[in-house]
């Protein structure tokens, strides 16, 4: 009791007889995460449970492509397409960090992905949809020839199976390691989505931080509905480059999702937790399914012919009834 009221140090140095292992003595480096917006220290598990959104200031941390798919798609509904398609080195490109083909191999081992774009089919609240998701950790989600090929294949299958397309777009621009081959993907993806529109199927574009270069300059900003997460940076060239070229100070908040919404460049800013419900509502709205899943078949949407043959008959004062077949 003599030392009971004496101030003690916060940390007790380890004694020689301490039997704790080295692993028990070490604190994981990723146990706490500091929010870059409000500076709050966040418990990493709490942040994960909140879909990596700061509970204090609602700052949206970046997500990997696989995390995006888990967040948006129904459980176990995602079926990946073209996972074995891998980029090539047509120009035998070499920069200060070495050959391009070696960089591809290193990035594939680091990320576990074969390319910076993941495509496949999924369901969102029961609605079938084609998902195209960018992986920013793979060379900054730069758009190369394989990106364009996988995108075009996904849209073609969406047309065949009559499914809407959701693209989750994050990118640092075109992949200059492939030169003109990468720039050609802007026209290729635009042409693919033009075919989607001709078949009266919607494209929903979700712009996430950061989204720059050829992606927002092509298909990502010609969608039926353009959605963005709060605080996402979206543009063509970076702010520093623009200021150096124009020699002018850019306005506050320039290239943020809020700035683009204010100037009519996007349609809506949606918190991450509300994305699933919004996308499923948009699918119902664009594809004529006000009663939920009524207009969906086992393989996707009904064909345009089947929809035209569906006739709604209103009996007053009773409820509306729906019949299928030609009009008599």
Domain boundary among 5, 39, 61: 61
Q: pLDDT band for position 20 (50/70/90)?
A: low
Neighbours of 210 (CB within 10 A): 19
Dihedral of the CA atoms 180, 187, 261, 292 (nearest 10)?
A: -130
Same domain, 149 and 257: yes
Same domain, 35 and 163: no
- For 176-198, what is the mean pLDDT? 95
Residue with tokens 């292992």: 21
Report how many helices (DSSP H) and strands (DSSP E) the chain contains, helices first: 10, 15
Q: What's phi and psi for 177, nearest 5 deg? A: -65, -20
Same domain, 41 and 121: no
Same domain, 50 and 107: no
The DSSP annotation for 104-173 comes to: HHHHHHHHS-SSSEEEEEEEETTEEEEEEEE-TTTGGG-B-HHHHHHHHHHHHHHHHHT--EEEEEEES-
pLDDT over 80 at 302, yes or no: no
Same domain, 258 and 283: yes
pLDDT over 90 at 3, yes or no: no
Q: Supply the range of the domain harboring residue 154.
A: 63-301
pLDDT over 70 at 2, yes or no: no
Domain boundary among 61, 80, 108: 61
Q: Is residue 45 included in any domain, yes or no?
A: yes
Max Cα-Cα span within the chain: 101
pLDDT over 90 at 220, yes or no: yes
Q: pLDDT band for position 6 (50/70/90)?
A: low
| Whether the Cβ atoms of residue 171 and residue 211 lie closer than 8 Å to each other | yes
Specify the range with the lowest mean pLDDT, choosing from 14-18, 127-131, 208-212, 280-284: 14-18
CATH of the domain at 127: 3.90.226.10
Percent over 70 (pLDDT), the chain: 79
Q: Is residue 177 included in any domain, yes or no?
A: yes
Neighbours of 216 (CB within 10 A): 22
Q: From CA 27, how far away is CA 38, in angstroms rounded?
A: 24
Same domain, 39 and 165: no
pLDDT over 90 at 96, yes or no: no
pLDDT of residue 264: 94
| Whether the Cβ atoms of residue 236 and residue 217 lie closer than 8 Å to each other | yes
Q: In the beta sheet, which residues pair with residue 219?
A: none
Instruction: Locate all alpha helices (DSSP H) within the chain, ordered by sequence.
Output: 22-25, 44-49, 65-72, 100-111, 145-161, 180-198, 239-246, 257-262, 275-286, 304-308
Same domain, 140 and 227: yes
| Helix H or strand E encompassing 36 | none
Specify the range with the lowest mean pLDDT, choosing from 15-24, 141-150, 215-224: 15-24
pLDDT over 60 at 291, yes or no: no
Q: Is residue 51 included in any domain, yes or no?
A: yes
CA atoms within 13 A on the CB side of 38: 12
Tokens of residue 213, six digits? 């270069």
pLDDT over 70 at 27, yes or no: no
Same domain, 57 and 203: no
pLDDT over 50 at 312, yes or no: no
Same domain, 56 and 67: no
Q: Is residue 6 included in any domain, yes or no?
A: no
Same domain, 108 and 46: no
Q: From CA 27, how far away is CA 276, in angstroms rounded?
A: 36
pLDDT over 60 at 200, yes or no: yes
Q: pLDDT band for position 257 (50/70/90)?
A: very high
Q: Is residue 21 included in any domain, yes or no?
A: no
Q: Is residue 310 included in any domain, yes or no?
A: no
pLDDT of residue 205: 97
Same domain, 42 and 146: no
pTM of the model: 0.79
Q: Is residue 198 included in any domain, yes or no?
A: yes
Can you say whether the dihedral through the CA atoms of 279, 282, 283, 289 is positive or negative?
positive
pLDDT over 90 at 4, yes or no: no
Specify the range with the lowest mean pLDDT, choosing from 95-109, 122-136, 284-298: 284-298
**Of the candidates 304, 303, 283, the residue with the CA atom closest to the CA atom of residue 292:** 283
Q: pLDDT tens-digit profile of 42-78? A: 999 999 999 999 999 999 999 999 999 999 999 999 9
Q: From CA 65, how far away is CA 50, in angstroms rounded?
A: 17
Give the chain's domain count: 2
Domain boundary among 38, 61, 84: 61
Q: Is residue 328 included in any domain, yes or no?
A: no
Same domain, 53 and 120: no
Q: pLDDT band for position 219 (50/70/90)?
A: very high
Contacts of 168 (CB under 8 A, 6+ apart): 65, 68, 72, 131, 132, 133, 134, 206, 208
């Amino acid at each position: 009791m003599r030392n009971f009221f004496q101030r003690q140090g916060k940390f007790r140095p380890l004694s020689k007889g301490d039997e704790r292992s080295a692993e028990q003595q070490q604190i994981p480096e990723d146990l706490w995460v500091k929010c870059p917006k409000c500076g709050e220290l966040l418990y990493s598990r709490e942040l994960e449970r909140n879909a990596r959104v700061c509970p204090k200031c609602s700052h949206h941390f970046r997500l990997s492509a696989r995390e995006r798919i888990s967040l948006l798609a129904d459980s176990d509904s995602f079926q990946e397409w073209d996972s074995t398609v891998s980029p090539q080195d047509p120009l035998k490109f070499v920069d200060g960090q070495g050959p391009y083909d070696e960089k591809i191999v290193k990035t594939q081992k680091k990320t576990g992905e074969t390319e910076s774009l993941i495509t496949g089919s999924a369901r969102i609240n029961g609605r079938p949809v084609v998902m195209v998701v960018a992986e920013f950790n793979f060379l900054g989600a730069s758009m190369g020839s394989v990106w364009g090929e996988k995108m075009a294949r996904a849209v073609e299958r969406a047309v065949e199976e009559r499914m809407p397309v959701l693209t989750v777009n994050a990118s640092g621009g075109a992949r200059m390691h492939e030169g003109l081959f990468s720039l050609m993907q802007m026209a290729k993806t635009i042409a693919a989505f033009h075919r989607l529109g001709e078949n009266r199927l919607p494209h929903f574009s979700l712009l996430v931080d950061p989204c720059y270069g050829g992606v927002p300059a092509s298909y990502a900003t010609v969608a039926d509905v353009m959605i963005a997460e709060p605080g996402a940076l979206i543009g063509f060239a970076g702010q520093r480059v623009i200021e150096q070229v124009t020699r002018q100070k850019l306005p506050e908040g320039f290239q943020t999702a809020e700035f683009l919404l204010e100037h009519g460049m996007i349609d809506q800013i949606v918190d991450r937790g509300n994305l699933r419900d919004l996308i499923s509502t948009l699918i119902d709205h664009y594809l004529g399914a006000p009663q939920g899943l009524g207009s969906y078949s086992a393989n996707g949407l009904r064909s345009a012919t089947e929809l035209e043959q569906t006739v709604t008959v209103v009996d007053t004062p009773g409820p509306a009834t729906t019949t299928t077949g030609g009009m008599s």
